Structure 1
Amino acid sequence: MLFRELVEYYEKLEATTKRLEMTDILAELLAKTPARIIDKVVYMTLGEIYPAYKGIELGVAEK
């Protein structure tokens, strides 16, 4: 999966306020994501890079 494809799904998510439509978009994204990178796609969708239990801080401010 190319990063461009992932961004297209995120843009679709941003464009809707309908909860069921968001669920459908996410289901399609996860179905098309190769198993070897599914964890990375899920973390990015959650706005994370690593799982919280690893305790890694990047030192980047939100501002």
Structure 2
Amino acid sequence: MALVTWLGVLIVTTIIGRLLAPLAAYLPAFLLSLFATGLTVLALTYFLMPNLTRLFYPWLYPNRK
């Protein structure tokens, strides 16, 4: 599960970092970090992790069917 979570965080932080890059010059670092981490948690919780868990289900839970 740690590897799947790492994969999700990698994907989301890369995308969010690129989306928020234009704001980096205008926002204080703390505010930028607040937005980035908030968006990351939301994206992982509601969109990416449920899909990654389904995708990797056979690998994560090999003895369940």
TM-score normalised over the length of structure 1 = 0.31
The structure richer in helix per residue is 2
**Structure of larger gyration radius:** 2
Name the structure, 1 or 2, with higher relative contact order (CA <8 Å, separation 6+): 2
